[in-house]
């Protein structure tokens, strides 16, 4: 029997008691009965006609929320109707604490806060193929859009491996997890890799990524019709200097035009942060800016990361600034709404010491605030989360210790702002049974108030077939229209990997 374990970690707020309550719900993957226990995270550019490949489909792959059906009782006995609030866990309930308090660890609908609403799985073309969600966003109608990495790999009867190019798989789900359409995007015969995904007010989709070019990789962007995923235009950028250019992020400005970010090779030993505004109707360039740190020993290899646009129209890019061979600073860069600048930079962890920090993720709310994260990899991985105002003043900060539970290894893979200006954070963690030498990846998500106080959190364990659960390899985080979390990545179980997307309740 396939089982999925849901562990809800209800964080205590700043004004509550120190003890944190935990609700654990075990759900059969076929939507059968549940049990629960309650105890005390001048360059060259080109805009072309559509290059979308693939077909459109209306096949539904999502599953509904758990606990909706039960197997017939062989004795013929029909259990009584479930009554939420009677203190007994019954069919259709994730919890039942026997009270009428709606804001505790079990709602008056007998649902766990931040609990799982639905998951959707998309199989790869073959068992050897690679597939994983890399970006996830919502649109104004409550639909979910996912941009995934897809590479078809086949092995013939003589065990010859045939690898197709890297492509981008885009899928749109309705609010209940039913698939509306999917498209496979590819720019010619080379590799096409996703870097960013955004949706405008009408539901149309902007994607930025990286494609193979004549002298290295090029920045690539496309605009999709939200109704069917067809491409209206594509835009490519190849810098003056031979080398690799990368598309890393895209955001929609207040005027509806997309702003893309990345990095460009600007000379020998010189990479710059790149940002460009495009016209949403045509894909033509509106303006372009670059940024470079101070060279050290002839090197200035700065790396651009994702972008967010503040409510005043100013774009922010989180970047990696090369300081020296042993030091890389994660630096937030603010440009003016017309692309001039930069107006300000912020490196909150710069202390003159040797370290290498990486650009994380970035999001903006409707009140002029920007959230961003910084990561440290290696033997002692960590992440930091910051909220700033329009003067780049840090309003509050959090780090991994504010999210992780116990000694597990927790990693974050994105942040997103809800319509109520709350913040969703999420990623994955390693769990293990040391005595049996077993380990697996679990998904986690947490929602914070605008003041940075925890509202709710949850750890999701994949279905089990064998000795350990499936790996839930989260790669991206978004926020649903109702404030719940969106996660995407891959589910790996018994040698099979599938694109995995999940929506959680607020």
Q: What is the Cα–Cα distance from 234 to 253, expressed in whole angstroms? A: 19
For residue 32, pLDDT beyond 60? no
Bigger pLDDT: 5 or 326?
326
User: What stretches of 115-230 adopt beta strand conformation (E)?
Assistant: 116-123, 130-138, 144-151, 153-155, 161-163, 167-173, 179-185, 192-199, 205-213, 216-224
Q: Taking the CA of residue 114 as centre, how many other CA atoms within 13 Å lie in the half-sphere pointing to its CB?
A: 32
Q: What is the Cα–Cα distance from 255 to 218, expressed in whole angstroms? A: 26
| 465: confidence class by pLDDT, cuts 50, 70, 90 | confident
- For the stretch 122-138, what's the b/e string if a residue is b when 16 or more beta carbons lie within 10 angstroms of its beta carbon? bebeeebbbbbbbbbbb
Return the ∠ at Cα 158 (arms to 155 and 160), rounded to 5°. Answer: 45
How do residues 66-86 score in pLDDT, each as one tens digit? 333 334 445 555 667 788 888
Return the ∠ at Cα 170 (arms to 358 and 62), rounded to 5°. Answer: 105
C-alpha dist (Å) from residue 104 to 13, 22, 237, 402, 426: 12, 11, 52, 20, 22
Output the pTM of the full model.
Answer: 0.83
Q: Which residue segments constitute the domains of the chain, with CATH numbers given?
A: 187-402 (2.120.10.10)
Q: Which residues contact 467 (CB under 8 A, 6 or more apart)?
A: 436, 438
Find residue 44's DSSP bridge partners.
238
SS3 of 248-283: the string is EEEEECCCCCEEEEEEEEEECCEEEEEEEEECCCCC
For residue 153, pLDDT beyond 50? yes
Whether the Cβ atoms of residue 314 and residue 343 lie closer than 8 Å to each other = yes
| 408: confidence class by pLDDT, cuts 50, 70, 90 | low
Phi-psi region of 366 (alpha: psi -120 to 50; beta: other; left: phi over 0): alpha
For residue 48, pLDDT beyond 80? no
Q: Taking the CA of residue 130 as centre, how many other CA atoms within 13 Å lie in the half-sphere pointing to its CB?
A: 12
Strand order in the sheet with 34-39: 34-39, 22-28, 3-9, 454-461, 438-448, 423-433, 409-417
For the chain, give the percent of residues with pLDDT over 70: 83
Whether the Cβ atoms of residue 465 and residue 28 lie closer than 8 Å to each other = no
Mean pLDDT of the chain: 85
Task: Specify the 3-state DSSP secondary structure of 497.
Answer: strand
């Amino acid at each position: 029997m396939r089982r999925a374990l849901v562990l809800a970690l209800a964080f205590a707020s700043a004004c509550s008691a120190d003890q944190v309550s935990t609700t654990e719900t075990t759900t059969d993957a076929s939507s059968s009965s549940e049990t629960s226990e309650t105890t005390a995270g001048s360059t060259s550019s080109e805009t072309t006609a559509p290059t979308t490949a693939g077909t459109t489909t209306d096949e539904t792959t999502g599953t509904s929320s758990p606990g909706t059906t039960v197997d017939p009782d062989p004795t013929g006995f029909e259990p009584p109707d479930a009554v939420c609030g009677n203190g007994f866990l019954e069919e259709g309930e994730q919890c039942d604490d026997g009270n009428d308090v709606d804001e505790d660890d079990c709602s008056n609908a007998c649902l766990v806060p931040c609990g799982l609403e639905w998951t959707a799985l998309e199989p790869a073309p073959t068992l050897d193929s690679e597939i994983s969600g890399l970006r996830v966003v919502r649109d104004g109608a409550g639909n979910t859009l996912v941009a995934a990495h897809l590479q078809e790999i086949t092995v013939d009867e003589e065990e010859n491996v045939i690898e197709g190019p890297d492509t981008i798989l885009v899928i749109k789900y309705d609010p209940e997890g039913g698939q509306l359409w999917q498209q496979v995007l590819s720019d010619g015969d080379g590799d096409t890799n996703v870097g960013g995904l955004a949706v405008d007010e009408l539901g149309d989709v902007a994607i930025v990524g990286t494609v193979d070019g004549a002298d290295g990789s090029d920045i690539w962007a496309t605009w999709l019709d939200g109704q069917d995923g067809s491409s209206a235009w594509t835009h490519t950028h190849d810098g003056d200097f031979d080398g690799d250019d990368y598309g890393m992020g895209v955001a929609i400005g207040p005027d509806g035009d997309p702003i893309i970010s990345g990095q460009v090779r600007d000379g020998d030993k010189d990479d710059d942060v790149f940002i460009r505004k495009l016209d949403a109707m045509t894909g033509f360039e509106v303006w372009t800016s670059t940024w470079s740190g101070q060279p050290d020993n002839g090197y200035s290899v700065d790396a651009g990361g994702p972008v967010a646009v503040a409510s005043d129209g100013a774009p922010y890019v989180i970047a990696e600034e090369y300081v020296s061979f042993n030091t890389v600073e994660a630096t937030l860069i603010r440009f003016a709404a017309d692309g001039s600048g930069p107006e300000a930079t912020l490196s909150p962890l710069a202390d003159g010491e040797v370290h290498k920090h990486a650009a994380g993720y970035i999001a903006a709310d409707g009140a002029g605030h920007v959230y961003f994260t910084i990561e440290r990899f290696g033997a002692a991985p960590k992440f930091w989360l910051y909220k700033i105002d329009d003067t780049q003043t840090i309003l509050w900060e959090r780090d991994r210790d504010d999210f992780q539970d116990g000694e597990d290894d927790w990693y974050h893979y994105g942040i997103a702002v809800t319509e109520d200006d709350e913040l969703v954070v999420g990623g994955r963690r390693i769990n293990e049974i040391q005595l049996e030498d077993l380990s697996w990846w679990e998904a986690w998500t947490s929602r914070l108030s605008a003041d940075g106080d925890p509202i709710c959190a949850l750890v999701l364990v994949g279905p089990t077939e064998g000795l350990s659960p499936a790996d839930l390899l989260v790669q991206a985080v978004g926020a649903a229209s109702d404030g719940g979390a969106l996660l995407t990545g891959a589910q790996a179980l018994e040698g099979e990997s599938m694109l995995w997307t999940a929506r959680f309740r607020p």
